Structure 1
Amino acid sequence: MSGSLWLKPPREGTTLPAIPRPRREEAPKTPDTPKTPHAPKTPHAEKTPHAESAPDADLAPDPLDELAERIDGFVAAAVHPDEVAALLESDGMTDDHIRLTYGRADSFALAEDLYARVERRHPAPQAPPAGPRFDGLAHCLLRGLVFALPGLAYVLAAPLLAGEQGRFGLPGGTVPLLAGAVTGWVWNQALSHRAYTWLGLGDRPAAARALLTGALPGALAGTGVALAVAAPGETPAAVFAAGQALYLAAATVLLVLGRERALLGALVPLAGAVPAFRWDLPDPLRIGLLLASLTAAVVLAALVLRPGLRRVAAGRGGPPRAASLPYGLFGLGSGLLVLHAGVGATPVGGAGAVVALTLSMGPAEWLLHRFRGESLTRLRTLTTARAFRRAVTGTLVLCLGGYLTVLVSLALAVTLAWPGAPWPTLPRLLALLLVGTALWLGLLLQAFGAVLGAATVCLLAAAAQTALPAAGPVAAGGAAAVLAVLTCVLLVRPTAHRV
């Protein structure tokens, strides 16, 4: 994995529309008409002095009709009264004001009346906006490829890192490598969210500046953690972990700013690892290929960060840094789940599971985007909340099933392509599917802003697997079940899909 899981950048205009206020217009002045003193009087006029006034002239207009007219467009497109209630509350209408002005108990009662008065009129579905992040399935597959290709660096470096028996039953050098990688995932996930927030505000130079100021400290943090946990004899692994931390920082910059093709070009030297599956390569060639790829990634990241050197207007505040913390925690939990998916099997079989999960991130992105688009289409076309819940649930099942199908296919393909890889057993495939389910549902919740719940579930599952490795499938299955419940509770509500 290359530093950051999929993050949906915040969109502009996510607040509810303001209720338009009617302008107070003065009544036009009419010229005084001259009196007609000689107008004839009739007996009926004397007996019925109020006959000249209309029967409804003394009735005041219903304020509810005026409110319904002002927010007609929003109410007509709503699929549930709760959407209208959310609009009223966001406009500052209190229950006391509603009782005095409209004679209803609260915002929900008022919303139900407005929803019943206005006829449903849903606009035609709009095509999703074109952008650099979602050009289609090919673009998402490209991102999945650049997520997985860095794994070839471990193939090239394996003979250089070989040493004495490591700790916790792992090969020598594994502990500093894992510690540095997990640190990078946490830091870069939070950094990605902050940069995406700036992009959502339309300030690309500020996003580049956030990456510029955060990438180097992240690389230093990953290096420091790897050096701190390295045991005697694991110095080569710690040096490799330093390069890994620097690459993760550079890859995060390129991925966030939409330079996946540039990153793919930087990873081309790692293709020299393919012959290393069958033949022994000279150590200078292995080191040269690793340094060439790392240098290319760092140089390209530095080039795209040039807009971040420009200053913005003084006094402008950025998004709060604390808002990015849950995304870092989700990166920690999901990263540990992926690592645990490769533990408990043969080294080759475990690596194959990690490679399959990493490669699947590309199709996962596309399916997440597909679910988002289909949900917005249903929101615009369906007229009842029940029909919307049924349609969204069906779309969720199809997208999740599609992702798990792709994951199994990738696992089998990696097994066939990897020399000497054992055929995955049914329990191993089941464990892989459970981890994949938890990972995809967590990414989906993160995309809809429910990242804290997803991070908590993934962290608890990862902690359970760390404390009791034998309970790995049970922990992954429990995480998948809890995330499925959270997803169904949140995403069947129409208000969760309003953009």
Structure 2
Amino acid sequence: MSRSPWPGGDEGQDTLPFIPRQRPPAPAADDPVAQLAHRLEDSIATAVHPDEIAALIEADGMSDDRISTDYGHPDSFSLAEELYGRVGRRCPAAPAPPAQPWHTHLGSCLLRGLVFALPGLAYVLGGPLLAGPPAALGLPAGTLALLAGTVTGWVWNQSLSHRAHSWLSLADRPAAVRALRLGAPLGAALSALAALAAAGPGDLPAAAFAAGQCCYLAAATALLVLGRERALLCALLPLTLGAVPGLPPAVGPALLLISLISAVTLAVRTLRAEPAGPGPGGAVQPPLTASVPYGLFGLGAGVLVLYAALGDIFRHGSAGAVAGPSAVALTLSMGPAEWLLHRFRAQSLAGLRSTSGARGFRGSVTGTVTLCLGAYLLVLAALAETGTRLWPHAPTLTLGRLAALLLIGAVLWTGLLLQSFGAAVGAAVVCCAAAVAQTLTLVLAAPPSTALVVSGAAAALLAALACVLLGRATAHRP
């Protein structure tokens, strides 16, 4: 057998791929490890780390007892190390892989970004509902009701979306539809109640606006999970009139009601049209607890986004600035962010095929994370500058505000990257810790630079986690 391309089993020394060769004759019967290496040679030769071989052995149904009896090794990892050293690394030319679910077009992601951002115009049209005397803590009227309803809706709908997508990944679309039929109305009711509970005595119009927003979030979640972005965009088209100056005050709430009724009606019709009977038999039901980290990430990320919007609220003097240029830039950037997540997946798989060692693959992943994150931050900065120029009476985009926005954007993108690979717990812990720290800086009236330090630390930690966790070849295997 050929020796390992890394002398002494040291994964830190990369060499050129071996030239493809013909399969050697079967080894003698008195060497069971050599026989196993011969049987699994094609898979072992393309592995970039022994852990991949250990996973292959475990998938083959070998227990530790059998490994100890038949091959003289205590466990699969020890056996994998020997197999890894016996079979040479080979990278024969292979055809391009077939299209995968993460291969997507930029246009579809931009469409989703537009769908995410258009609801921001609702705050322009709902200006008459958000006017009034200042509320508690010196905030503009209706701010607490809006924040309570928005954060509750984000937490619930993030969890619901993950739950439905879990069923879709198991090819059980009826179960996903059943989850949306139950979860969407319940989430709308809970978040609307949270908004009403946080509303002050004179905030009834703002509470009604917040309740409508909660219903919209539930309907949008159902439509987006089921791939009805274009239908949702049609429901949001009346909101585009919010960009027209000089509209009579009564027109704005009427347009909001039309758009809300359209979105809810489309969601109801879509869910009714989908079959919700028994799905394919034998599917393992995803645990409810698996969706909790995604909801917590939604909580932490939502709080961080709202802190970015709070600066616009205080500068603008209106609760409608919840959808100010900072928040709109973040929501609109989610379209390019989603596309860059797909690009990372594609590039990391290309690196898995092209690199000849674990160190080279880690370097490839680190470079891809850096490029994708940098591209996202450039897009976010461009959107923030454009929004500041177009938004009525928007505050100047100072270097400090831009830095704070970009750091929050880095936290969001790296957190979503980790989530897309199943590392939701780490992303949720870091985001929630950053949200708590940001809250403490606000309560303790800490200098603005403290908030930058918190966001910067969270962004750096998430980026490091992404490079470490995704730098393992086993994280990219289907």
TM-score, normalization: structure 1? 0.83
1:74-118 C-alpha deviation (Å, 9 max, x unpaired): 212211112112332454545554343223354333212212233
Moved more, 76-85 or 439-448: 76-85
Q: Deviations over 1:263-288 (max 9, x none)?
A: 1111000011012xx42x32331122
- The answer to whether the Cα contact below 8 Å between 1:385 and 1:494 also exists between their aligned partners in 2 is yes
- The answer to whether the 8 Å contact 1:156/1:273 transfers is yes
How far apart are residue 484 of structure 1 and its match? 1.6
* Alignment correspondent of 2:267: 301
Q: C-alpha distance in 2, partners of 1:317/1:90?
A: 18
Partner of 1:12: none
Corresponding residue for residue 283 of structure 1:
249
Residue in structure 1 matching 2:48, options 70, 73, 79: 79
Q: Distance in 2 between matches of 1:245 and 1:365?
A: 24
Q: Does residue 360 in structure 1 map to residue 329 in structure 2?
A: no
Unaligned 5+ segments in structure 2 are 1-27
Q: How does 1:263-278 map to 2 (within 5 A)?
A: 263-275=232-244, 278=245
- Is contact 2:418–2:424 with CA below 8 Å preserved after alignment? yes
Show the counterpart of 1:115.
84
The equivalent residue for 1:497 is 476
Could you tell me which residue of structure 1 aligns to residue 118 of structure 2? 149
1:66 & 1:316 partners in 2: Cα distance? 36
CA distance in 1, matches of 2:100, 2:69: 47
Note closer, same or farther for the CA distance 1:307–1:206 as it changes in structure 2 (3 Å cut): farther
State the AA in 2 paired with 1:174.
T
Deviating more after overlay: 467-476 vs 93-102: 93-102
1:132-190 per-residue CA deviation (whole Å, 9 max, x = no partner) reads: x7531111111111001001001100122211111122101010111001111000000
Deviation digits for residues 35-58 of structure 1 (CA, Å, limit 9, x no counterpart): xxxxxxxxxxxxxxxxxxxxxxxx
- 8 Å contact kept, 1:134–1:140: no
| Counterpart residue number, 2:354 | 381
Q: Alpha carbon RMSD of aligned pairs, Å?
A: 2.1
- The structure 1 residue matched to 2:406, chosen from 412, 416, 433, is 433
296-305 vs 343-352, which deviates more? 343-352
2:231 aligns with: 262
Mapping 1:94-243, distance limit 5 Å? 94-122=63-91, 124=94, 126-127=96-97, 129=99, 135-243=104-212
Structure with greater helix share of residues:
2
Superposed counterparts of 1:270-349, under 5 Å:
270-275=239-244, 278-279=245-246, 281-308=247-274, 310-312=276-278, 318-345=285-312, 346-347=315-316
Please, which runs of 5 or more residues in structure 1 have no aligned partner? 1-58
Task: Give the AA of the match of 2:290.
Answer: A
The answer to whether the 8 Å contact 1:375/1:392 transfers is yes
Distance of 2:96 and 2:87 partners within structure 1: 23
**364, 380, 391: which one pairs with 1:418?**
391
Of 378, 382, 385, the match for 1:409 = 382
Do the aligned partners of residues 287 and 495 (structure 1) sit closer, same or farther apart at CA in structure 2, a change above 3 Å counting? Answer: same
Give the match's secondary structure for 2:364. helix
Query: Partners of 1:103 and 1:282 in 2: how far apart?
Result: 83
> Post-superposition shift, 1:71?
2.3
Residues 100 and 127 of structure 1: CA distance in aligned 2, closer, same or farther (over 3 Å): closer
Any idea what the Cα deviations from partners look like across 1:385-444, whole Å, max 9, x if unmatched?
111111111111111110111111111111121233233111111111111111111001
Once the two structures are TM-superposed, the CA of residue 213 in structure 1 deviates from its matched residue by: 1.1
Change (3 A) 1:188 1:305: same
**1:343–1:350: 8 Å Cα contact kept in structure 2?**
no
Distance 1:251 1:284 in 2: 25
Pairwise CA distance, 1:475: 1.4
- Structure 1 counterpart of 2:399, which letter? L
Give the residue type in structure 2 aligned to 1:431: A
Q: 1:128 to 1:225 in 2, by over 3 A?
A: farther
Superposition deviation, residue 311 in structure 1: 1.6
Please tell me the residue identity of whatever aligns with 1:109: S
Distance 1:218 1:125, change over 3 A: farther
Name which one, 1 or 2, has greater alpha-carbon Rg: 1
Letter in 2 for 1:299: T
